[in-house]
Amino acid sequence: MFTRVQAAALTGVQVASVWVEADVSDGLPTFSMVGYLSSEVREAQDRVRTALRNLGIAMPPKKITINLAPTDIRKEGARYDLPIAAAILAAGNYIPENSLKETMILGELGLDGQVRHITGVLPSVIHAKESGCRICIVPMDNLREASVVKEMLVVGVAHLEQMIEFFRSGEIPDRKEEISEKAEDEKLDFSDICGQEAVKRAAMIAVSGFHNLLLIGPPGSGKSMLARRIPTLLPELTEEECMEISKIYSVAGLLPEDSGLIHNRPFRAPHHTATPQALAGGGKIPKPGEITLAHKGILFLDELPEFSKRSLEILRQPLEEHKICISRSNATYEFPAHFLLTAAMNPCPCGFYPDMNRCACSATEVIHYRNRISQPLLDRMDVCVEAPAVSYLELKGQKNSSLSSKEIRNTVKRVQNIQRQRYSKLPISFNSELSSKYVETYCVLDRDAGKVMQKAFEKLQLSARGYHRLLKVARTIADMEEETLIRQRHIQEAICYRSLDKKYWK
Ligand SMILES: [Zn+2]
């Protein structure tokens, strides 16, 4: 007897349909599995056989063949255990055969029949819906994320027995006990930061035009505190963005237990010892790395010069193309990676340069330290700003005069809307994404601004890329004032954010 049931394979954050076919026929009792399988998938045979036996179900003493189609997709992991069990059960008439129609089954089995959590359930269930399934059977631990998908009967099972019972009688197992409400997250807000008005302004500009931001300052000047609050300046996630990010976190196995989805802008701050694989995504079948987990949010690299050259090199493709491609012998995997890069660094190894009373570094040490950041990467940091040590007066006084995250977010939304409208016919949304072809069209200077720009071009010895990036930042500053032309003051401010690298990297 022949049966088949739908399952799903993950290829990066994409999903492909896989059909698990079971054939039980007369002949010597054997069990064979085919279909471009990794060793973990082959081991399913032992898990399934043992789990069934522990339920008192003996495999029919016949020739059992399992095929996972199509054969051009490599099958990895233990996610096929449960569909394989279902296909065998149906082929052996333990469950009605027609019950597997329009059904997708996902899950890993323990030897005792427990059904275990797997990654990537959310995108798989979305895929199931798109491919016409009406029912999804998922591990109970994945039920929350799967239930996000509407117009689909999602059944969570904690044990193989529950799946059999569902197919026999339609009984849906109870949900696991709800996790008690987690204590409210500590609410971060920009108004928590004392003083640092120049840095806050720079952050607002960076966020408005999605420009990369570099903060340079001594230890204790609040660089990380500020970076941590940048996600609160970005507009709230749309439903579509929420799904897109949640799919990534589902594949990475990082969805929060208490809610099926990610509702806040990601903030990822990998340590400087992070390997290139941790940043880009590693593994035989790659999982999303830090730069993909930061998609639509902030990637914060503290102590930038401490990152290895190889790790920083990884950033190049995503900064230009907003995605990362990882090659493996059997395929190339593509992950989205459109993030706002925020980096922070001390001005010298000890951190106190140029305060010569406190800085103990030699000139060579300082130069060596800064040169660990390559010119191409530095060129991509559109907005560089100094975060000076906070003075006593600032600490004392200004807290209440600061703008709150909400106020800044409103400005950011307004400026982003201007850009979205302007670029409605281009495949971009932000000034920072303008390709060199369009910079001259959209970044038009008035006469005075043109003169300032010409002088700056010579003085700062700008590269073509540096010149374009400066114009794009000026464009954002002009948008904040809703000016069509870029004026002198806009270009002057943009130059300030560019000239730091001349100050520090001469
Ligand atoms: Zn120093």
Which residues on neighbouring strands pair with residue 19, listed in sequence order? 6, 69
Other CB atoms within a 10 A radius of the CB of residue 65 amount to 17
SS3 label, residue 309: helix
Give phi and psi for 383, each to the nearest 5.
-120, 105
Q: How many residues does the chain have?
A: 506
Q: What pLDDT, on the 0 to 100 scale, is given for residue 312?
A: 92
Residues 66 and 164 in one domain: yes
Spatial strand order of the sheet with 213-216 comes to 267-268, 298-301, 340-345, 213-216, 383-386
- Please indicate, yes or no, whether residues 465 and 418 belong to a single structural domain of this protein: no
Distance in Å, CA 359 to ligand 1 centroid:
4
Q: Which residue has the higher pLDDT, 121 or 499?
A: 121
106 Cβ contact partners less than 8 Å away, ≥ 6 residues apart: 7, 8, 79, 82, 83, 118, 121, 124, 136, 137, 138, 139, 142
How remote is the CA of residue 360 from the centroid of ligand 1, in Å? 5
Distance between CA 54 and CA 3 in Å, rounded?
23
**Domain range holding 81?**
2-169
Among 425, 442, 469, the domain-final residue is: 425
244 and 151 together in one domain: no
| Last residue in a domain, options 392, 425, 458 | 425
Residue 179: inside a domain: no
- Which residues, at least 6 apart from 423, have a Cβ–Cβ distance to it below 8 Å? 429, 430, 433, 434, 442
The rounded percent of the chain whose pLDDT value lies above 90 is 71
DSSP letter assigned to residue 288: P
Q: How many domains does the chain have?
A: 3
pLDDT value, residue 354: 79
Residue 171 CA to ligand 1 center (angstroms) comes to 69
Residue 12: pLDDT over 80:
yes
Q: Is the pLDDT at 192 greater than 80, yes or no?
A: yes
DSSP 201-234: HHHHHHHHHT--EEEE--TTSSHHHHHHHGGGGS
Q: Is residue 500 part of a domain?
A: yes
Q: pLDDT per residue over 34-45, tens digit each?
A: 999 999 899 999
Say yes or no to pLDDT of 398 above 80. Answer: no
pLDDT at 492 over 90: yes
pLDDT in tens, 448-472: 999 999 998 888 888 888 899 999 9
pTM metric for this prediction: 0.91
Identify whether 274 is part of a domain: yes
Say which range, 19-28, 271-280, 287-296, 368-377, has the weakest mean pLDDT: 368-377
Instruction: Decide if 398 is inside a domain.
Output: yes
The angle, 0 to 180 degrees and rounded to 10, between the axes of the packed helices 464-480 and 405-422 is: 110
- Residue 175: inside a domain: no
- The pLDDT score that the predictor gives to residue 298 is 97
Classify residue 180: in a domain, yes or no: no
Contact 138, 107 (CB under 8 A): yes
Q: What pLDDT, on a 0 to 100 scale, did the predictor assign at position 463?
A: 84
Q: Are residue 111 and residue 208 in the same domain, yes or no? A: no
Report pLDDT for 376: 87
Give the CATH number of the domain where residue 320 resides: 3.40.50.300
CATH number, domain at 11? 3.30.230.10
| Helix or strand run (H / E) with residue 111 | none
* CA of 312 relative to ligand 1 center, distance in Å: 23
**264 and 162: one domain?**
no
Clarify whether residues 128 and 89 are in a common domain. yes
- Whether the per-residue pLDDT at 502 is higher than 90: the answer is no
**pLDDT at residue 272, as a whole number:** 95
Q: What is the pLDDT of residue 400?
A: 55
Assess whether 252 and 397 both reside in one domain.
yes
6-10, 247-251, 388-392: least confident range = 388-392
**Co-location of 250 and 376 in the same domain:** yes
The enclosing domain of 492 has a CATH number of: 1.10.8
Residue 184 lies in a domain: no
- Say how many Å lie between the CA of residue 371 and the centre of ligand 1: 15
Q: How much distance in Å is there from the Cα of 6 to the middle of ligand 1?
A: 62
What is the distance in A from the centroid of ligand 1 to the CA of 370? 11
Reported as a single tens digit per residue, the pLDDT across 90-142 is 998 899 988 899 999 999 999 999 999 999 999 999 999 999 999 999 999 99
Q: Rounded to the nearest whole angstrom, what is the distance from the C-alpha of residue 101 to the centroid of ligand 1?
A: 69
Same domain as 263, residue 220: yes
Q: How far is the centre of ligand 1, averaged over its atoms, from the C-alpha of 279 (Å)?
A: 29
Residues in a beta bridge with 216: 345, 386
**All residues at 6 or more sequence positions from 288 whose CB lies less than 8 Å from its CB, including other chains:** 12, 13, 248, 251, 252, 281, 335
| Spacing, Cα 469 to ligand 1 middle (Å) | 30
Percentage above 70 pLDDT, the chain = 95
Quote the ligand 1 centre to 93 CA distance (angstroms): 76
Q: How confident is the model at residue 222 (pLDDT cuts 50, 70, 90)?
A: confident
Cβ pair 287, 281 in contact under 8 A? yes
Backbone angles phi, psi at 470, to 5 degrees: -60, -45
Q: What is the pLDDT of residue 98?
A: 87
List Cα–Cα distances, 132 to 2, 3, 71, 147, 268, in angstroms. Answer: 22, 18, 22, 17, 36
pLDDT band, residue 244 (cuts 50/70/90) = very high
pLDDT for 397: 60
Ligand 1 geometric centre to CA of 216 (Å)? 13
Ligand 1 center from residue 346 Cα (angstroms): 9
Q: Tokens 């199509």 sit at which residue?
A: 70
Q: Are 349 and 27 in contact (CB under 8 A)?
A: no
Q: Are residues 269 and 361 in the same domain?
A: yes
Whether 469 is in a domain gets the answer yes
Query: Whose structure tokens read 């030699």?
Result: 362
Do 381 and 473 reside in the same domain of the chain?
no
Element (H, E) at 344: strand 340-345
Both 408 and 328 in one domain: the answer is yes
Quote the CA–CA distance of 464 and 437 in Å, as a whole number: 12
Q: If you measure from the C-alpha of residue 276 to the centroid of ligand 1, how many angstroms do you get, rounded to a whole number?
A: 28
CA 353 to ligand 1 center in whole angstroms? 5
